[in-house]
């Protein structure tokens, strides 16, 4: 009797946790948060191997996001090995037979060491953006734009990542603060170690580079407030993707 009671209690807790997976996603990082939400649910077993996601239209309505955003998130999770898409009458989107599993369910998803790196990045990147919006000249902006074009033209992730690192270091250089350049170089090296642990779907890279273009535009316009908010959104998007796709820390 007691065992049945406990099992019913566990089932209710599981149901509550699973319901939370399909609650509405909050903007502005709807794509990245959807990847994190579904990726985490798969890794901790709330969505077990072989389980089928709701139809696309229904899932988009539940999460209150556009179907195009949902498709991007699902494509990302397919490419990372969490989901598979099956065609035909019995088709749909399913959790793979051997999805990536969480190595540690006790702490926060990213772990303390990764969280410390991400917090450090917030401080360095937003500080550099403030000063870059005040001090950047056309040469600085031209170098940043060149890095964006390199990312756009890259066909291998390694090439994209090198240009990505150069872009963020370029923001620090535009701030005219040598210590910030040193700090940015350090944090980008640490970020590369984290990013190397996940898949690199095209949808994530394209969205990230679109934000790079907008950051340049806001810096050019000396719009410090919006530039910092967008840089923070850019960083937060990376945090969601890492939390959803990282296998271990």
How many residues are there in the chain?
A: 249
pLDDT band at 125 (very low <50, low <70, confident <90, very high): very high
What are the residues whose beta carbons fall under 8 Å from the beta carbon of 23, sequence distance 6 or more?
62, 63
Q: Looking at the domain that runs over 111-245, which CATH code has it been given?
A: 1.20.120.530
The answer, yes or no, to whether residue 8 has pLDDT greater than 60, is no
pLDDT tens by residue, 38-61: 987 887 677 888 899 999 999 999
Every domain of the chain with CATH number 1.10.10.10 lies at 23-95
Every domain of the chain with CATH number 1.20.120.530 lies at 111-245
Write out the DSSP string of 80-136: TTSEEEE-STT-EEEE-SS----S-SSS-TTHHHHHHHHHHHHHHHHHHHHHHHHH-
pLDDT tens by residue, 176-204: 999 999 999 999 988 988 888 787 888 88
| The listed CATH number (3.10.129.10, 1.10.3720.10, 1.10.10.10, 3.40.190.10) that belongs to domain 23-95 | 1.10.10.10
SS3 call for 52: strand
The answer, yes or no, to whether residue 223 has pLDDT greater than 80, is yes
pLDDT tens by residue, 137-161: 999 999 999 999 999 999 999 999 9
Q: What is the pLDDT of residue 44?
A: 67
Question: What region, left, alpha or beta, does residue 25 occupy, with left being phi > 0 and alpha being psi -120 to 50 degrees?
Answer: beta
The answer, yes or no, to whether residue 217 has pLDDT greater than 50, is yes
The answer, yes or no, to whether residue 136 has pLDDT greater than 60, is yes
Question: What percent of the chain has pLDDT above 90?
Answer: 53
Helix intervals (H) in the chain = 2-21, 30-43, 56-63, 67-79, 111-135, 138-153, 157-174, 178-195, 202-220, 224-245
């Amino acid at each position: 009797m007691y065992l049945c009671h406990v099992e019913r209690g566990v089932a209710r807790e599981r149901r509550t946790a699973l319901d939370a997976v399909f609650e509405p996603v909050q903007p502005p990082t709807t794509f990245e948060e959807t990847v994190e939400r579904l990726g985490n649910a798969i890794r901790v077993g709330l969505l077990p191997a072989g389980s089928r996601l709701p139809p696309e239209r229904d899932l988009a309505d539940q999460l209150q996001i556009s179907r195009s955003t949902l498709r991007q998130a699902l494509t990302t999770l397919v490419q990372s090995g969490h989901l598979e898409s099956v065609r035909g009458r019995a088709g749909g989107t399913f959790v793979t037979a051997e999805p990536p599993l969480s190595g540690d369910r006790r702490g926060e998803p990213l772990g303390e060491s990764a969280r410390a790196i991400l917090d450090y990045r917030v401080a360095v990147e937003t500080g550099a953006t403030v000063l870059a919006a005040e001090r950047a000249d056309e040469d600085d902006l031209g170098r940043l734009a060149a890095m964006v074009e390199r990312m756009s033209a890259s066909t291998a992730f390694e090439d994209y990542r090198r240009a990505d690192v150069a872009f963020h270091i370029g923001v620090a250089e535009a701030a005219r603060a040598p210590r910030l350049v040193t700090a940015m170089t350090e944090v980008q090296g640490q970020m590369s170690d984290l990013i190397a642990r996940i898949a690199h779907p095209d949808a994530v890279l394209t969205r990230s580079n679109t934000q790079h273009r907008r950051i340049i535009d806001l810096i050019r316009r000396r719009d410090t407030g919006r530039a910092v908010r967008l840089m923070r959104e850019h960083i937060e998007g990376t945090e969601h993707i890492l939390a959803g796709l990282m296998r271990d820390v």
